[in-house]
Structure 1
């Protein structure tokens, strides 16, 4: 279970601590930074208290982990100040993986172990703080996954485990076999399904804090020209004006106000965007302001 009392971090039984704001590395190679510039970005994030960095083996066409590791190698002592998260279980058709002939899932024990070991080499570290199964696999076998996780833990290669995009039942089924630290799911004012489909309720019941990908709806909150995007954007801006806070900060605060205490990921290479996310840990919305955004998100009154 997680200790949800501290606004800056979430600490789990077993010793895992993650920052309330997690740096998402998905697009790092699109930022076109040199290794020293990547290192500077990492150092600025750490200075703001963003100590958790989210990866996946497939990010950047199997290239982001290596880019991050290259930067970290310039200042290896930073490793002790951060938590590195990665994911496995998706096989992409890619020039980097010529043997892959069809995009598919693979949650076999052999693939989980091989992927984790490859991530360690790419990231130039001896352990992952947290490893997630990236997507539910129709062919996944819960006992096999738990066995692979336990072997990685015994070998000292991965310290904690979790999943991503799992339903409540899928999470609880695997969690009964091996303790899971988190479920990383999509949530934003334009994607509120986890609030109502028992995903967050189930995690709150277990004392597990979810991680959140795409909290800004992939940019639709800023520039989407659809009716829902415009409606939600106007509601958020109204709250931002009332609180005299940046638009992005209000979105992150809205998500973090959920009682399961979600940990949202940033996805931007702009350090100012990370700073706005961090600022969201310092204030909260009134209940009426929170529901103004939810009403806009759903397009109707709550009752």
Structure 2
């Protein structure tokens, strides 16, 4: 089973194989104030994550319009020893619709990156982030300007490590050419439903390649450069673990039956099988579990200790893509 390979600060504990995605912390995406019930909900989610060994927490400045960071900040303030036991990761670079300066858009300007980090630290109530990710590729981004901003944040002690989200290999390569600090993470949507990361390699020189939007070569580039791949949406919104979603691909039902069968044979939850499929990939994928429900988090307990056979991995992949190899 793959392990996290993040080259973190020397006194930092190793990153756990799973990450808790905190997008749902803070309730709805509205302007309503934080309630004590939301804070308690955050406490329970963190307790469940800690129980199964998760010490890595993923946020973004836009999650529930900043409330997600504020709720986790409250949890940290009420459990003083927790900050030194966990890895805090957040993202910036998206401006939501409704701000005073225009439409919803991406913004990786140096000014916005610097201001965003100050806001993140304030909401979390901490002095530094372990990892900052650039949330989406900004077509108006100036790589040197980004590199200068990241260097300033690092020199000021506000951010220890950096990465990206939703970027292909050439976008990362360009940024790295203009940055004195290494980019150590790339977070992408990957799951048994979103199998483009596998298809990009498997369909080379085949007609199916033109149907795949996943950036070819990104998995290989990240492996070669020791960039930690993180998977957002790894549980595919419960498609393989009991939830029926209107309009989903017909292959989902067959794949879900296989997941259920394998889970029963091994005496584990279906969530474990879905995550173990991702984690068998030699790139060392780190799934980001996007749930605030303790029972959903706890259902992932055995993922890092469950090894699928090559046969089982291909059986699930073939079912999901709906064709023979």
TM-score with structure 2 setting the length: 0.85
Q: Is the 8 A contact 1:190 1:228 kept in 2?
A: no
Summarize the Cα distance change of 1:271–1:107 in structure 2 as closer, same or farther, 3 Å threshold. same
Is 1:60 matched up with 2:64?
yes
What is the CA–CA distance in structure 2 between the aligned matches of 1:12 and 1:189, rounded to whole Å?
28
Given that residues 92 and 100 in structure 1 are in contact (C-alpha distance below 8 angstroms), is that contact kept between their aligned partners in structure 2? no
Give the one of 243, 267, 270 matched to 1:247. Answer: 270
| Secondary structure of 2:268 counterpart | coil
Give the direction of change, closer, same or farther, for the CA distance of 1:169–1:278 in structure 2 (3 Å limit). Answer: farther
Q: Distance in 2 between the 1:266 and 1:138 partners? A: 29
What are the superposed Cα offsets for residues 97-143 of structure 1, whole Å, 9 maximum, x if unpaired? x4143000100001001001100000000000000000011111211
Distance 2:73 2:285 in 1: 27
The equivalent residue for 1:185 is 188
Q: Which residue of 2 aligns with 1:204?
A: 223
Distance 1:253 1:242 in 2: 14
CA shift at 1:13, angstroms?
Answer: 5.9
Does 1:83 find its partner at 2:102? Answer: no
Structure 1 residue 14: Cα displacement: 4.9
1:127 maps to 2:150:
no
Return the offset for 1:10. Answer: 3.4
CA contact (8 A) 1:10 1:20 kept: no
- Compared CA separation, residues 115 and 219, structure 1 to 2 (3 A): same
Contact 2:48-2:297 at 8 Å conserved across structures: no
In structure 2, distance between residues paired with 1:199 and 1:86:
22
Q: Check whether the contact 1:194–1:200 (CA below 8 A) recurs between aligned residues.
A: yes
Equivalent residues, number: 294
Give distance in 1, aligned partners of 2:245 and 2:41: 31
Tell me what 2:211 maps to.
none
> What are the ranges of 5 or more consecutive residues in structure 2 without an aligned counterpart?
29-34, 201-215
CA–CA distance in structure 2, aligned partners of residues 294 and 248 of structure 1: 16
Shift of 1:238: 2.7
1:71 maps to which residue?
75
Q: Flag structure 1 segments of 5+ consecutive residues without an equivalent.
A: none
The correspondence for 2:244, drawn from 203, 206, 223, is 223
Q: Which residue of 1 aligns with 2:313?
A: 290
Question: What corresponds to 1:237 in structure 2?
Answer: 260
User: Once structures 1 and 2 are overlaid, which stretch shifts more, 26-35 or 160-169?
Assistant: 26-35
Q: Work out whether residues 39 and 72 of structure 1, in 8 Å CA contact, stay in contact via their aligned partners in 2.
A: no
Q: Which moved more, 1:289-298 or 1:28-37?
A: 28-37
2:5–2:226 Cα contact (<8 Å) kept: no
Q: For residues 19 and 160 of structure 2, what CA distance do their matches in structure 1 show?
A: 18
Cα RMSD, aligned residues only: 2.0
- Distance in 2, matches of 1:232 and 1:199, equals 26
State the TM-score, normalizing by the size of structure 1: 0.91
- 1:122-167 residue CA offsets vs partner (Å, 9 max, x unmatched): 0000000000000011111211111111100000000000000001
- Is 1:262 matched up with 2:299? no
Distance 1:243 1:101 in 2: 53
1:271 to 294, 297, 305: 294
Offset at 1:41? 3.0
Deviates more, 1:110-119 or 1:74-83: 74-83
Give per-residue Cα distances to partners, 1:249-271, cap 9 Å, x unaligned: 00011001111111101112222
